[in-house]
Amino acid sequence: MTLIGRTRARGVASLSLDSPHNRNALSAALVAELADALTDCGKDGDIRAVVLTHTGNTFSAGADLRDPPPPEALVGLLRQIVELPKPVVARVTGHVRAGGLGLLGACDVAAASSEATFAFTEVRIGVAPAVISLPLLPRTDPRALARHYLTGERFDAAEATRIGLLTAAGDDVDAVLEPILDGLRKASPQALAETKQLLTARVLEAFDRDAADLTALSARLFASADAREGMTAFLERRDPPWVL
């Protein structure tokens, strides 16, 4: 079963997360297939930019609790997006949760429709947004991120734009993206690659410095008793015992 849809138009490749049965959760298989698709895009000289989008009403629900990718695989995917020598643009028309927000943080540009919603829900199942912090902490407002990391509350596209998680939002996400993609089509491939390196230098410093520690933290937390109870409660659609 193919989990990543591929199309292209006028030098822009679109990669769609296409696993709607589990709300495009980041399973080991989806992460591996997306990584392969990005590799192909990086080697294709006819592709000027990559749009990362989705089918269904959810961009990504975060890690697949039934088939989670190893933390190292998620780190590798996020770094691949950051290092790809072509701009990667997120196009969101639905909901984004937990690990899915890491994909947005890794992208160079992220746009969403006004009805999109966002939440860092890790704390509610007994873990922390560890690995996804690698691209998010250097790019997102720290005070706002503290609130949303610690509470897990849902927020809207306007707030996501204000804190730097999104580049822009609007009622019609394609209208928002039209001038952005048009601008990328007018730029030289060399200039795009070199400019992207300038913009991502601080993010890659975070990967070099913190990836090993955050990978270990993620693995430890997911193996904890709190996480086992939190994930079980989530799958059984009930509150875990720490909810007051």
Active site residues: 122
Cβ atoms 77, 83 nearer than 8 A: no
Asked if residues 207 and 130 have their Cβ atoms less than 8 Å apart, the reply is no
CB 235 within 8 A of CB 65: yes
The secondary element (H helix, E strand) that includes residue 205 is: helix 189-222
Q: Which residues pair with 110 in a beta bridge?
A: 90
The interaxial angle of helices 71-83 and 189-222, nearest 10 deg, is 160
Neighbours of 203 (CB within 10 A): 20
